[in-house]
Structure 1
């Protein structure tokens, strides 16, 4: 039997989890994406690896191995037996992603499919809002008596507004809109943070061979959710405390930490 819990991730800096070499797409280091909505995800292995590293640093190797499993090989290279992880993580998917919108200046965007996964994970009892539903805090333009948002790709008409508070994991209803499942990929790609990086030749003012590339990342204040399963045993496992001070903490996820990427706030819910 497994006890269900879930985690909420709020990015405090751009977050890149994906390709590091960029060979598959020229010089663009892309993030991992969900195969249906084409929106960014964080693999469960990335979440688990960072959580284990944090516990190892704070509580020691034995605690980390107990909750997250023992590796097949020790640090000295000696063969060892693996153990099953007590805490299991699925991938983190977007609930809301912030998008620049003139006059707002930020609108958080989602789609019914992403909300459906959040509903299953968090147990939200409300009916999923239909596309083109805006939050009560949204201040859209009034064009010909219709509330309208302007994005870089064009205008979007808000058909109605309702209280979307239950769909915000942190309890704060932001300026937001729900778009169609077939539109979220385009808006998501428009919202991504992108940065060009280059390494210069030490003798000339030019890029080294193969040392110019672009990186994309989820923007700060993106909100994601991931399911957690905690295996229960007959003897009991004790209390899982992922962070030194309880169930909330700041960690770094993904790559490019040295240039300010990856800082996230993580909140674990459903664990007493």
Structure 2
């Protein structure tokens, strides 16, 4: 059985990528879409660190060589965190959260939901008279479609209540705008004389107010302990509703609010 946990980003989140291009330190991306994601190992490592009781930590997450001479698999599996809605600045509407059929279809499958994916350019805020400005893109009013049941695709909780202007873009346009909307922080290295040592470096991050989610469940090897492990993991989540994921912890990066 798959269960879902939502993550609402409270601050920019940086998860290190596998490559570095020039002076840009990228973030983890899906190889087939190039979209940002949070690796399951990042989430698992943070949750494992919050489990202070050793016996429960071993049962949920398994052992490692630092803690035990015998490696054992834990009862809980955790998936990668995917994007659901990402905020983009708009000259006409302040902030608009965007997604695309591919991302919404993926989310529906994880929920076991057979609802139809909304049509491209569906939105819940256009009156059909004014154009929508997104970064360098302009969407004509006549191209937008009124979206009545948009709340089905946005968790109706206090944590995500701020997501009130949503727009479904074509897959290729959504990927481009998400790429343009990632945070890029300029960093420099100073020597002992507080002079710039080398050139500038840019670090990417997923912006705050992004909504993501990941799936989790119990492994097939959780013989006789699956029910207890399921309950213990849910309690662990309840006791740690604010998590700090990824790097740059000393800069206040990576704070997320999570809920089921």
What is the TM-score normalised by the length of structure 2? 0.87
**What is aligned with 1:96?**
85
Residues 140/16 of structure 1: CA separation in 2 closer, same or farther (3 Å cut)? farther
Structure 2 counterpart of 1:63, from 31, 49, 56: 56
Seen in structure 2, the aligned counterparts of structure 1 residues 208 and 243 have a Cα distance that, compared at 3 Å, is farther
| 1:43 paired residue number | 39
> 1:99–1:190: 8 Å Cα contact kept in structure 2?
no
Q: Does 1:215 pair with 2:213? A: no
The reply on whether 1:181 has 2:168 as its aligned counterpart is no
SS in 2 for 1:96: strand
1:37 alignment partner, SS class: coil
Q: Which residue pairs with 1:10 in the alignment? A: 8
Contact kept? 1:100, 1:151, Cα under 8 Å:
yes
* Whole-Å separation in 2 of the counterparts to 1:122 and 1:93: 13
Matches within 5 A, 1:1-272: 3-19=1-17, 24-56=20-52, 60-71=53-64, 73-74=65-66, 80-135=69-124, 138-139=125-126, 142-143=129-130, 148-157=131-140, 158-162=143-147, 163-171=149-157, 172=161, 174-203=164-193, 205-209=194-198, 212-231=200-219, 233-237=222-226, 238=228, 239-244=231-236, 246=238, 249-268=241-260
Q: Distance in 2 between matches of 1:156 and 1:116?
A: 23
Question: 2:126·2:144 contact (CA, 8 Å) conserved in 1?
Answer: no
Q: SS of 1:208's equivalent?
A: coil
Q: Which runs of 5+ in 2 are unaligned?
A: none
Unaligned runs of 5+ in 1: none
* Separation (CA, whole Å) in 2 of partners of 1:83 and 1:150: 53
**2:88–2:135: 8 Å Cα contact kept in structure 1?**
no
- Contact 1:39–1:184 at 8 Å: present in 2 too? no
1:10-32 Cα shifts (integer Å, max 9, x gaps)? 1000011123xx97311211111
Q: CA RMSD in A?
A: 2.2
Structure number with the higher helix fraction is: 2
Of the structure 1 ranges 91-100 and 120-129, higher mean CA displacement relative to structure 2 is found in: 120-129
SS in 1 for 2:60: helix
* SS of structure 1 residue aligned to 2:179: helix
Q: Is the 8 A contact 2:88 2:97 kept in 1?
A: yes
How many aligned residue pairs are there?
249
Give distance in 2, aligned partners of 1:141 and 1:240: 50
Q: Secondary structure of 1:95's partner?
A: strand
TM value normalised by structure 1 = 0.84
Change (3 A) 1:231 1:26: same
Greater strand share, structure number? 1
Give me the whole-angstrom Cα distance separating, in 1, the residues matched to 2:137 and 2:219: 48
